[in-house]
Amino acid sequence: MEPDEDLGLIAEEIYANGDENKQRHRPIISGEQLDIEAYAALYSGRTKIMRLLFIADRCGNASMQLEALRMAYDEIKKGENTQLFREVVQKIDGRLGTNYGPDPAWADSVDRRADLRKEKLESELNAYRTNLIKESIRMGYNDFGDFYYAHGQLGEAFKNYVRTRDYCTTAKHIIHMCLNAILVSIEMGQFTHVTSYVSKAEQSQDALDAITVAKLRCAAGLAHLEAKKYKLAARKFLEVGPELGNNYTEVIAPQDVATYGGLCALASFDRAELKSKVIDNINFRNFLELVPEIRELIHDFYTSHYASCLEYLGNLKANLLLDIHLHDHVETLYDQIRSKALIQYTHPFVSVDLNMMANAFKTSVAGLEKELESLITDNQIQARIDSHNKILYARHADQRNATFQKVLQTGKEFDRDVRSMLLRANLLKHDYIARTSRKH
């Protein structure tokens, strides 16, 4: 390889890629099976159950599936959602013994209590409406929202939470309504509602505390992620304050903020942004400490240790595909990160040995050629490939020559202009123009 002098500093980092002995020696995380118990402990409420059921549906491992279903069963029994309980019993299908089978006595008891509670809520709300007590009506609809949410009737829960809007008398009431609407919308996968209610809550700036701000940024980040707006998602997750802590476990864990934010940033930020907004971001560093693998792969990417970075990503992939929010985006994010790594690797060089580069990216030369061809076609890399000698030649080598030619041309033009000026000055000095005009 011949490094371009202007980019020598980056080149020094990258040279190590092809040499295994120069790589930093430290353990690479193994692709261990997800610790479901530890994972589930990060969450609370409905999302804990839904994440467990998602893992059970996607993992393709019988023992892992049963473990997730067992934990979901136990969690559902703590609540009042008998419909979800029946669905889980069906999925378990007797595989966990009599303790995890149908429990009609429990289900009937919960349903009976629910009917009584609903009647009570209806009569209370009717009384409040008759008396036109705004605050009581707001609380009545809110209680109905909580009731429906607990029983898994998300559409009804959303309607009742939103009905409180007309009875809100303070900014705090509005924010409370927005947070409830956001929670249900996330559970329903209605992310346009999430964006709308985040914006509405943010209008009440004076009433927002640090924890609420952190929650709203998480919700906005999830909405952008769902819309595949990875750069906007990264920015929102990177802005989440440390106040979040474990205050939003019904939606997201701080570990998710690090994972979602880190991967979206890697896929969408340029090198300068990665340094200033991620690596040098003291606030976000606290989140990254919770997921050392993500922290390490970001540092590996920035310091051009691509083989190590891609190995981390490879080991994390199976578990990321079991994440209820990230699974749809893993392939796209991974492709974008790999493309950026290839572009960043080739950028400082006039020529690159494809054998050496393939070694750095732990791939075959043929596979690497295909990837580079695709990036050249998309105009993401300005280069051409010498397939016979397996060398990539950068087009910016010709740019130096073009610049040199341009300077020469400018010099010639300057010389010509100066000569013309001197000639005109001499003609004026010798009164040549005046004499000529007198002859006429």
Instruction: Give residue 378's pLDDT.
Output: 78
φ and ψ at residue 281, rounded to 5 degrees: -85, 100
Those residues whose C-beta lies under 8 Å from the C-beta of residue 191, and which sit 6 or more positions away, are 185, 222, 223, 226, 227
Q: Is residue 404 assigned to a domain?
A: yes
Instruction: Give residue 160's pLDDT.
Output: 97
| Structural contact between residues 266 and 56, judged by C-beta atoms closer than 8 angstroms | no
pLDDT mean over 90-105:
93
C-alpha 420/C-alpha 136 separation (Å) is: 91
Structure tokens at 421: 């000026």
pLDDT mean over 125-130:
90
C-alpha 254/C-alpha 287 separation (Å) is: 6
Q: Please tell me which residue, 48 or 418, carries the higher pLDDT value.
A: 48
Instruction: Give residue 434's pLDDT.
Output: 53
Q: Is residue 82 assigned to a domain?
A: no
Question: In whole numbers, what is the pLDDT of the chain averaged over residues?
Answer: 87
Residue 402, domain extent: 396-439
Instruction: Give residue 399's pLDDT.
Output: 57
Structure tokens at 361: 């990216």
pLDDT mean over 251-275:
95
Q: Please tell me which residue, 31 or 126, carries the higher pLDDT value.
A: 126
pLDDT mean over 212-219:
97
φ and ψ at residue 351, rounded to 5 degrees: -145, 150
Structure tokens at 370: 């295909």
Q: Is residue 433 assigned to a domain?
A: yes
| Structural contact between residues 278 and 238, judged by C-beta atoms closer than 8 angstroms | yes
| Most confident residue range from 27-36, 308-317, 401-410, 420-429 | 308-317
Q: Is residue 301 assigned to a domain?
A: no
- Residue 336 Cα to chain centre, angstroms: 12
C-alpha 327/C-alpha 259 separation (Å) is: 12
pLDDT mean over 84-88:
96
C-alpha 59/C-alpha 438 separation (Å) is: 101
Instruction: Give residue 389's pLDDT.
Output: 76
Q: Is the pLDDT of residue 25 over 50?
A: no
Q: At which residue do the structure tokens 């691509």 appear? A: 306
Helix (H, G, I), strand (E, B) or coil at 394: strand
Instruction: Give residue 4's pLDDT.
Output: 47
Long-range contacts of 197-205, Cβ-Cβ distance < 8 Å, separation of 24 or more: 198/223, 200/174, 201/174, 201/175, 204/171, 204/172, 204/174, 204/175
Q: Is the pLDDT of residue 438 over 90?
A: no
Specify burial of residue 402 (Cβ count, 10 A radius: 0-12, 13-18, 19+).
exposed
Q: Is the pLDDT of residue 313 over 80?
A: yes
pLDDT mean over 72-97:
95
Residue type (1 letter), 6: D
C-alpha 28/C-alpha 288 separation (Å) is: 17
pLDDT mean over 159-188:
95
pLDDT mean over 134-155:
95
Q: Is the pLDDT of residue 28 over 70?
A: no
Instruction: Give residue 17's pLDDT.
Output: 46
% of the chain at pLDDT higher than 70: 89
Instruction: Give residue 401's pLDDT.
Output: 65
Q: Please tell me which residue, 366 or 186, carries the higher pLDDT value.
A: 186
Q: Is the pLDDT of residue 145 over 90?
A: yes
| Closest-CA residue to 273 (of 214, 375, 218, 344) | 344
Residue after which a domain boundary falls, among 259, 290, 321: 290
Looking at 6-15, 77-86, 108-117, which range is the least confident one? 6-15
Residue after which a domain boundary falls, among 260, 290, 320: 290
pLDDT band (50, 70, 90) for residue 396: low
| Most confident residue range from 12-26, 357-371, 392-406 | 357-371
pLDDT mean over 124-129:
90
Instruction: Give residue 104's pLDDT.
Output: 94
pLDDT mean over 345-374:
81
Q: Is residue 244 assigned to a domain?
A: yes
pLDDT band (50, 70, 90) for residue 23: very low
Q: At which residue do the structure tokens 């971001």 appear? A: 281
C-alpha 65/C-alpha 101 separation (Å) is: 16
Q: Is residue 59 assigned to a domain?
A: no
Q: Is residue 104 assigned to a domain?
A: no
Residue after which a domain boundary falls, among 244, 273, 290: 290
Specify burial of residue 258 (Cβ count, 10 A radius: 0-12, 13-18, 19+).
buried
Structural domains in the chain (count): 2
Q: Is residue 172 assigned to a domain?
A: no
Q: Is the pLDDT of residue 8 over 80?
A: no
- Residue 133 Cα to chain centre, angstroms: 44
C-alpha 81/C-alpha 60 separation (Å) is: 26
Helix (H, G, I), strand (E, B) or coil at 190: coil
Pairing of strands 391-394, 383-386: antiparallel
